[in-house]
Structure 1
C-alpha cells in the first residue's frame, strides 16, 4: 500500500477538483460583491479564466470533472441570495461552461503544441481571438434567458453587460495564469539586477500614479480624462521591455485598480452624461482595449 504524503494529496485529482470548485466559488462571490455602489451593476467576471486555464493544461478526458466542479462552485456562489428564477442561473452556468470549453478547445487545437512559456507568443494571440466567439455565444445565451424570464429586462443591456464583463475578466486574469503557470519560465531569482531595478521602477511609478489620481484630482471628469494617459506609457514600457510575465501581471494590477475605483464610485471612464450602466460598460471597454494592446505588444 503506497504511503500517504502531502505531496500525493496535492497531486491527486480529487484535491485538484475540490480546489477548483473552491476557487471558482470564491471568485464568483467576489465578482458578485464587486458592483457599483448605488446601482449594483457587476464590474467584471474573472471566474471563467480559472477554469479555462485548468482545461488548457489538462487532457480532454479530465475536462468533465473540472466542469462539474465549476458548476458546483457556480451554484454555491449564485443560488444563496439569488433573486432570479433558478432556470436563469442554470442557463447562466451552461453559458459559462460553453464559453470556457470554446476557449480551451480553440487554444488546444490551433495554438500548436504544448502550452509552455516559450510558446506564449503564439498561444496568447490565439487565446484572445478565441474569446471573441466564446463570449458572443455565452452573452447571447444569457441575454436570451434573462429576456424570457425576467419582466422588463432589456436583451441588449444584458448582452452588452455579459459580453464586456466576461471579456474583461478573461483578458485580465487568463493571460496571467498562463504566463505564470506555464512550465519553462525562468525563475525570478534568475533575473539580473538591472531587470529587477527596472521592474521595481515600474511598480513605483504605478503606485505613484495610483495614489495621485484620486488624491490630486478631485473632479470625476478629470480622473476619467487623465487616467489612460498616465497609465498607457507605463504599460507600453512594460510590454516592450520586461516580457510577458511582468506585462500580464502589471496589466492585471491596472485593471483591478480601475475596477476598485469604479467600485468606490470614482471612475475611471465615468464621463458626464452617461448612465451608470454606460459608465461601467465604457470602463470595461477601456480595460479590454488596454489589455489587448499591451499583451499584443509584449508578444511581438
Structure 2
C-alpha cells in the first residue's frame, strides 16, 4: 500500500512539474502571437512581400530568453509558427525553415550577449552597446537572411528583390529588439509609486511626449527630430524607465504615420518609407538606450564613491574620534553643525 501511495504522489509531482514547465512556454507563444498580430496591422508590401517597419515579436523573444533562458525557445517557435500560419494556407517546408530562422535569430543573440557578459539591468554602457550591435543589428541578420531566402526559393520573390526585402526584414526585426526589449527588461523594476516621486515632471514629460510626437509625425514640415530633446530629457531624469516608454511611443507613432503615408512620409514609396523609418527609429532607440545606460552607470559610480567615502569616514571616526569631521565628502550631520 505504501508503494502505491508513493507512486501516485510521484506521478502528481511529475504532472505539476510538467505543467509548471509548460506554462512559461505557452505564455511566451501567446504573447509572441499577439504581438505578431499587432505588428502585421502596419505591414507594408515591398517587392510583393509583406514586411513591417517594427516587428515587436523579436523584442519579446529576446526578452523571454533573457528572463527564462533557453527553455523559452519552444514558445518562440510555436508563436512564430502561429503567426506565419495566419499568412499562409498551409504549413510547408519553407514555412518550417522561416520559423527556424525566426527562432534561431533571438537564440543566437541571447547566447552572444551571455558570452559577452550582458546584464539585464542595462546599467552599463557596454550592456547598451551589446544589445544594439550584438542583440539587434547582428543577431537579426539570421532571421532576415533565412526568411528572404525562403521567399526566393519558394518563388514568392524574384531574385532582384532579395536585397530590398532583406533590408526591410532586417530593419523591422532589429527595431523590435531595440524598442521592445529594453521596455520589457525595465518592467522588472516596476514598483508601487511613492509620494516623493517627481510626479509633476513625469506627467509633464508624458504630455509633452504625446503632443510633440503627434506634431512631428503628422505635419509635413521637417519637424520629425523634435522628439530627440524629449528622449534626452527622459533619459537624463528617469534613465531607462523613462526613455524606453518614450522611445516606444515615438516609434509607434512614426510607424503609424509612415504606413499611412502622412506627414514627413507623404509621397514616398514603400521602400523609402521603410528606410526612413528604420533610420529614424534606430536613432531614437540608440539615443534612448545608450544615454540611459550612461546616466545609470554614472549614477551608480557616484553612489559607490559616496558609500565608500562614508565607510572610510566611519572607520577614521572609530580609529581617531573627531578626525572624521574633516573627511570628504562632509556627512549631512557635519554640514548641519557647520551651519
Q: Same fold (TM over 0.5)?
A: yes
Q: 1:56 aligns with which of 47, 66, 73?
A: 66
Change (3 A) 1:43 1:59: closer
Change (3 A) 1:294 1:211: closer
In the alignment, what sits opposite 2:248? Answer: 252
Change (3 A) 1:293 1:191: farther
Deviations, residues 109-131 of structure 1 (Å, cap 9, x unaligned): 2125x63x374654332221212
**Contact 1:31/1:42 (CA < 8 Å) preserved in 2?**
yes
Unaligned runs of 5+ in 1: none
What is the deviation of 1:43? 2.5
- 1:191 and 1:108 map into 2 onto residues whose CA distance is 38
Deviations, residues 211-239 of structure 1 (Å, cap 9, x unaligned): 44467x3xx4x2xx2121x2111111111
**Contact 2:149/2:162 (CA < 8 Å) preserved in 1?**
yes
Change (3 A) 1:279 1:147: same
Deviations, residues 128-171 of structure 1 (Å, cap 9, x unaligned): 12122212232222222222222525110121011111111111
**Contact 2:62/2:181 (CA < 8 Å) preserved in 1?**
yes
CA RMSD of superposed structures (Å): 2.9
- 2:238 and 2:266 map into 1 onto residues whose CA distance is 33
In the alignment, what sits opposite 2:154? Answer: 149
In the alignment, what sits opposite 1:44? Answer: 54
What is the deviation of 1:242? 1.4
- Higher relative contact order by CA 8 Å / sep ≥ 6: 1 or 2? 1
- 1:120 and 1:214 map into 2 onto residues whose CA distance is 32
Aligned residues: 276
Q: Write out aligned runs for 1:229-268 (5 A).
A: 230-268=226-264
In the alignment, what sits opposite 2:36? Answer: 28
Q: Write out aligned runs for 1:37-186 (5 A).
A: 41-60=51-70, 63=71, 66-82=72-88, 86-111=92-117, 115=120, 117=121, 119=123, 121-130=125-134, 131-150=136-155, 151-153=157-159, 154-181=161-188, 185=189
What is the deviation of 1:251? 0.7
- 1:51 and 1:166 map into 2 onto residues whose CA distance is 11
* SS of equivalent residue, structure 1 residue 43: coil
**Contact 1:107/1:127 (CA < 8 Å) preserved in 2?**
yes
* SS of equivalent residue, structure 1 residue 12: helix
Q: Please tell me whether residue 204 in structure 1 is matched to residue 211 in structure 2.
A: no
Deviations, residues 53-108 of structure 1 (Å, cap 9, x unaligned): 11112244xx2xx2222222222222234279833322221111121011111222
Q: Please tell me whether residue 284 in structure 1 is matched to residue 273 in structure 2.
A: no
- Per the normalisation by structure 2, the TM-score is 0.72
What is the deviation of 1:296? 0.7
Structure showing greater radius of gyration is 2
**Contact 2:231/2:247 (CA < 8 Å) preserved in 1?**
yes
**Contact 1:36/1:264 (CA < 8 Å) preserved in 2?**
no
- 2:287 and 2:63 map into 1 onto residues whose CA distance is 21
Change (3 A) 1:97 1:37: closer
Change (3 A) 1:15 1:137: closer
